[in-house]
C-alpha cells in the first residue's frame, strides 16, 4: 500500500497544469447533474412514487457524493501549496527501499 501511495505522489508531482476536477466544465457538469438528480428525487417524492426510507437513502447518498466532491475539490486546490513541502528525492529513495 505504501508503495502505491508513494508512486501516486511522484506521478502527481510530475503532472503539470490544473487538475481536471478544477476545470470550469467539470464544475458545471457536476452542478447540472446534481440539480437534475435532486429534481427527480423531489418529483418522485411529490407524486409519492417512492417510500420515505428510499427517499432518505437517496438523499443520504446524494449528500455523501456532494461531500466527497467538495473534499476532493478542496484537496486539489490546496495541492499547489502542499507539493512545495514534499521532497521528491526522499520519496524516490523510499520507493527504491521498498522495491529491494
What does the pLDDT look like over 7-66, one tens digit per residue?
998 988 888 666 777 778 888 899 999 999 999 999 999 998 989 999 999 999 999 999
pLDDT for position 33: 93
Contact indicator for 64, 36 with CB cutoff of 8 Å: no
Q: How many contiguous H segments (helices) and E segments (strands) does the chain have?
A: 4, 0
80 Cβ neighbours under 8 A, 6+ residues apart: none
- The structural domains of the chain, with segments of one domain joined by +, span 21-99
**How far apart, in whole angstroms, are the C-alpha atoms of residue 14 and residue 8?**
10
Collect all residues with Cβ–Cβ distance below 8 Å to 34 and sequence separation of at least 6: 62, 66
pTM: 0.71
Amino acid at each position: 500500500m505504501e508503495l502505491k501511495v508513494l508512486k501516486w505522489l511522484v506521478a502527481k508531482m510530475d503532472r503539470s497544469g490544473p487538475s481536471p476536477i478544477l476545470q470550469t466544465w467539470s464544475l458545471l457538469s457536476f452542478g447540472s447533474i446534481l440539480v437534475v438528480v435532486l429534481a427527480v428525487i423531489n418529483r418522485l417524492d411529490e407524486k409519492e412514487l417512492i417510500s420515505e426510507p428510499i427517499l432518505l437513502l437517496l438523499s443520504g447518498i446524494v449528500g455523501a457524493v456532494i461531500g466527497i466532491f467538495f473534499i476532493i475539490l478542496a484537496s486539489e486546490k490546496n495541492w499547489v501549496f502542499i507539493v512545495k513541502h514534499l521532497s521528491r528525492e526522499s520519496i524516490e529513495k523510499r520507493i527504491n527501499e521498498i522495491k529491494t
